[in-house]
Amino acid sequence: MHKAPINLNLADELIQMMKEDQQVLQALFNAGELPSESYHPRMKALHERNASRLKTIIGRHGWPGMSLVGEEASRAAWLVAQHAVSDPEFMAECVGLLEDAVARQDVAGWQLAFLQDRVRTLAGKLQYYGTQFDVDEKGWPTPFPIEEPDTVNERRARLGLNSLEERLEQMIEQERKRRADIE
């Protein structure tokens, strides 16, 4: 069976969407407009525009996995879905598409873990993979509540993630470094 070549135009478009997302995020952060209590209107408009375009892409091609657009653009598609918080139904739909893509080994497993946990926590449900974190009263990272916490590391390992304890230690170390840089 002949493998179709990567769709470079689609890959470039997805990567551009990711770059613009990150540029706007950084610009708003640098301007002191983020983090904020509400969804920044510029960020919201960009996320909604990108989600709308991703819906069109999915309708035409299915989930843009590595076989269609390559690794970086596949990650970009995930980021667009991860940021589509105005449309939780679409995010949940993408979880199903990512489950299928993971089964075909067409996306990295962590993408499914992060999106599924985000959808669940935004809906007020327990997360499944322990990828979503809050901060405690002292500003240290702490995972949102996890369903069946005794087996979370088995689930994480199946999708190629490190243990929850290792991830938490990485995040604490990043916070220590951030605090040291400020001092």
Residue 62, domain member (yes or no): yes
Residue 57, domain member (yes or no): yes
Residue 117: C-alpha distances to residues 21, 98, 109, 111, 114 (Å): 21, 13, 13, 10, 5
What does the pLDDT average to over 20-38?
92
Residue 68, domain member (yes or no): yes
Structural domain for 88, as ranges = 8-115
Query: 21-55 burial string, b = 16+ CB within 10 Å, else e?
Result: beebbeebeeeeeeeeeeebeebeebbeebbeebb
Residue 74, domain member (yes or no): yes
* 80, 47: one domain: yes
What does the pLDDT average to over 149-172?
97
Residue 123, domain member (yes or no): no
* 27, 80: one domain: yes
Q: What's the structural domain count of the chain?
A: 2
* 54, 108: one domain: yes
* Residues 6 or more apart whose Cβ sits within 8 Å of residue 28: 34, 40, 42, 43
What does the pLDDT average to over 108-114?
97
Percent over 90 (pLDDT), the chain: 92
Percent over 70 (pLDDT), the chain: 98
* 141, 109: one domain: no
pLDDT tens by residue, 126-155: 999 999 999 999 999 999 999 999 999 999
- Specify the residue for token string 């470094």: 177
Q: Does the reported pTM lie above 0.95?
A: no
* 165, 110: one domain: no
What does the pLDDT average to over 105-127?
97
* 105, 45: one domain: yes
Say how many residues make up the chain: 183
Residue 169, domain member (yes or no): yes
Predicted confidence band at 2 (pLDDT cuts at 50, 70, 90)?
Answer: low
* 19, 101: one domain: yes
pLDDT tens by residue, 48-94: 999 999 999 999 999 999 999 999 999 999 999 999 999 999 999 99
pLDDT computed for residue 3 by the predictor: 67
Q: Residue 114, Cα to own-chain centre: how many angstroms? A: 5
What does the pLDDT average to over 113-118?
98
* 141, 93: one domain: no
* 80, 157: one domain: no
